[in-house]
Amino acid sequence: MDSGTQFTLAMSAPPDDVDTVHALLQEVWSNSPAVSATDRVCFETALIELAGNVIQHADAGTGVSCTLTVEVFGDRIEARLSDTGEPGQFHLVPGGMPHELAESGRGIPLIEALVDELHYDRSGSLNLWRISRRLGTA
């Protein structure tokens, strides 16, 4: 297993929110000059969607605790997010975008359009998410 440069964040929502994830990514980009602007925009958009999805949908009323690790490899960038929320409920089946006037339902399809891999697993009381984008592919 190869290894890259890791950035890790433990967060509790509330009070943390997706702006906390933006702050972590700011640190990642500052330390990863080789990652292109296109890769940054695509990966940040995907990760914010994922974190927002977890914060919004996994909270059963007691908040959600998450551990987020972003790792920059030579050929790809990955994020691994584990959370204590309700089991993830979404469909990885490519379903495309919802009706054009729908006000929700674009998050997961948007992630799928921006990264090469999106994985979900449930382990014990944790949801485990992973997204990965190959660098320099856009």
Contact residues toward another protein (CB under 8 A) are 17-19, 22, 41-42, 44-45, 48-49, 52, 55-56, 97, 100-104, 106-107, 109-110, 113-114
56/4 Cα distance (integer angstroms): 30
- CA separation (Å) from 74 to 5, 108, 114? 9, 26, 19
Which residue lies nearer to another protein by CB, 2 or 103? Answer: 103
Instruction: Find the shortest distance in angstroms from Cβ 87 to another protein.
Output: 21
Count Cβ atoms within 10 A of the Cβ of residue 119 and give its class: 0-12 exposed, 13-18 middle, 19 or more buried: exposed
Which residue lies nearer to another protein by CB, 5 or 14? Answer: 14
φ, ψ of residue 128 to 5 degrees: the values are -120, 120
Instruction: Find the shortest distance in angstroms from Cβ 125 to another protein.
Output: 24
Instruction: Find the shortest distance in angstroms from Cβ 77 to another protein.
Output: 16
Instruction: Find the shortest distance in angstroms from Cβ 98 to another protein.
Output: 9
End-to-end CA distance of the chain: 25
Which residue lies nearer to another protein by CB, 40 or 130? Answer: 40
Contact (CB, 8 A) for 112 and 97: no
Which residue lies nearer to another protein by CB, 73 or 120? Answer: 120
